[in-house]
Structure 1
């Protein structure tokens, strides 16, 4: 059976899952409904805790009973989230919606990468995983850019709720596309039917045997958690600079466009530079960028944010490719879920600090806290990665 069609289906699924015009005015919509920055951070923590609790079990389920089913479940639950948000007026409404999103993210995160890798593996193209993952992310970003441009215009012409109805429709299309995926028939080294406990044991043993993978996972956790805050709160940053909402789509499109080169060129950069060099460079730029954004409260901060987005595009293909090339297919989704679990554990801890400093010094203080986190990790990685990662 030709599993290459899975790749095109995954592209289409990503396109519609990212064709979400609600995201460009999300923070303004939430603020309009009474959600403060602190409350938003609380929902982010709820999201992260949900993933921490469910990420590994969902990865095991994906490895054991099928990646397609988990991707389909994730798309369905994301649709449910938008339906709740349309009518949300209280904190617990938003919390419930984000809880559903956390379950959805847990269900699909490891399953999607595992299905992509194994589809390539069965066609003898697994060494091109970073390239195809980068292209998958490009579909994601390109669709999100279109949604942002349309979303800001629609938000200025109609109510914010209209954007959410369109987003719900796009997510329902992704549900239909997910049902068309074909489950790859890959058999791993750990056997066909094992208990949940054995998946955990196999995963722990994998990390023990590969200390360099642990360091790569940690890098993805810290940089990913840091990036999530600029993705979540750039709208409030623009709002504080008194930029009209009608221009938000242009800024959103520009920020997302800047992440494209890293995704497209990741597989080329990996062949030319050491993993350590690439990660140190990205972390250094992020540290300085966040520090500048927190201290210089004017339009030049947008340049710093742009640089952060530009250098961060390489992170996902870089880290995911490094891990997937070193694991067995039977625990592929489980290992990927461990990575996502760790990222969200870091997100919980940094979220508490971001929320505190944002409440004291507005969103600028929150970005200052993230600058300290990135700077501290840069020094740690500089010391510990010298002999572990080339």
Structure 2
């Protein structure tokens, strides 16, 4: 059986797994149920710590016993999240939700891209990885936009809870479709079948890989920091709009706009890598991100909305590039495990940055939190420039 059928199924699964109208009013819904910004940050830290603990183990499990099984776990966790949120009223309810979300994220983060890459590899089309991943991300964005527009319309006319029931239905459809995926055969770098590596050797082999490939290590570190920073835009743009006095009716249009801006980067990432070096791209991205976060922290008016849009435009190109840089350099036998390290590191960074973000948001509202992120990116940019000095040939 041609495993290209997995690609078609992944398109549909991605569409329904991101057709979640609850996300467009998530922060307002949580606030309505008693969650303050600082409480949300605590929940995000629970999310990040859980991922740090589970990312590598779930990647190992995916490599040894199947990527499809982990994707099923992730889809099931998504269904549980929305069912709980419909009835959530206490902090521990939300803490449980983010814990389940972290379990699902950990289960899918390495496995999803590994299943995609090995499905392409089995058909001799692995060079299309960035292109297909970009298209999958673009489809995600289209789905998110539809959900955002419908979600804000529904939220302005009905209670917020309706969005969560609809989201639960979409998650159930994604789960049913995930059950139909086909597990690709795992191959080593020579294209032959390979027996699973014993669990006790995974950690040492993984760490040796990153030690022996400093270029990969730097690209992933950059992806971790920039990804963590962008996560705070994804999580708190609703609070930012609320502070500017923008009605919830317009949230869907804004959400759709910032995701539309991610489309060009996702679709053209494979093309961009052929023209510019990773060092130049990442240096420019971090400089622009730091400046943009500083702007929305200091200039508290509608012009900040355009800057957030620019951040999302840049975000679209970063994820396919960093993922592709890793996957082109590793064997299938440990693809999900090593792929999990990026998510692990990103969430470790999210946890550490979140403490500062929560502190400054509590004292200076959301604007102070964004200012703190700007400082963090500037500091890492200095380190990146020092670490890549004289290393152009590797990046």
- Whether the TM-score (by the shorter chain) exceeds 0.5 is yes
| Structure 1 residue runs without a partner (length 5+) | none
Aligned to 1:291: 294
Aligned to 1:204: 207
Deviations 1:169-196 (A, max 9, x none): 0000000110111000123369413321
Aligned length: 390
Partners of 2:361 and 2:325 in 1: CA distance: 35
Deviations 1:188-231 (A, max 9, x none): 36941332111112211211111111101101100000000011
Partners of 2:123 and 2:196 in 1: CA distance: 24
Aligned to 1:174: 174
Partners of 1:236 and 1:70 in 2: CA distance: 33
Aligned to 1:353: 356
Which structure 2 residues correspond to residues 217-236 of structure 1 after superposition, within 5 A? 217-236=220-239
Aligned to 1:319: 322
Partners of 1:86 and 1:197 in 2: CA distance: 41
Aligned to 1:144: 144
Aligned to 2:49: 49
Partners of 2:313 and 2:382 in 1: CA distance: 22
Which structure 2 residues correspond to residues 17-36 of structure 1 after superposition, within 5 A? 17-36=17-36
Aligned to 2:109: 109
| Structure 2 residue runs without a partner (length 5+) | none
State which of 363, 367, 371 in structure 2 corresponds to 1:368: 371
Which structure 2 residues correspond to residues 39-188 of structure 1 after superposition, within 5 A? 39-188=39-188
Following superposition, the deviation at residue 128 of structure 1 comes to 1.4
Partners of 1:380 and 1:220 in 2: CA distance: 14
Partners of 1:362 and 1:95 in 2: CA distance: 22
Single out whichever of 217-226 and 187-196 deviates more from structure 2: 187-196
Note if contact 2:196-2:333 (Cα within 8 Å) is conserved in structure 1. no
Partners of 2:188 and 2:71 in 1: CA distance: 21
Aligned to 1:213: 216
Partners of 1:207 and 1:387 in 2: CA distance: 19
Following superposition, the deviation at residue 384 of structure 1 comes to 1.4
Following superposition, the deviation at residue 375 of structure 1 comes to 1.2
Partners of 1:261 and 1:383 in 2: CA distance: 31
**SS of match in other structure, 1:272:** coil
**SS of match in other structure, 1:192:** coil
Partners of 2:262 and 2:69 in 1: CA distance: 30
The RMSD of aligned alpha carbons is: 1.0
**SS of match in other structure, 1:313:** helix
Deviations 1:296-323 (A, max 9, x none): 0000111111111111111111100000
Aligned to 2:281: 278
State which of 245, 250, 255 in structure 2 corresponds to 1:242: 245
Q: Does 1:7 align with 2:10?
A: no
Following superposition, the deviation at residue 235 of structure 1 comes to 0.3
Single out whichever of 123-132 and 65-74 deviates more from structure 2: 123-132
Partners of 2:2 and 2:194 in 1: CA distance: 24
Which structure 2 residues correspond to residues 336-351 of structure 1 after superposition, within 5 A? 336-351=339-354
Note if contact 2:141-2:260 (Cα within 8 Å) is conserved in structure 1. yes
Note if contact 2:187-2:331 (Cα within 8 Å) is conserved in structure 1. no
**SS of match in other structure, 2:273:** helix
State which of 175, 193, 198 in structure 1 corresponds to 2:196: 193
Partners of 1:358 and 1:134 in 2: CA distance: 34
**SS of match in other structure, 1:356:** helix
State which of 238, 250, 254 in structure 2 corresponds to 1:251: 254
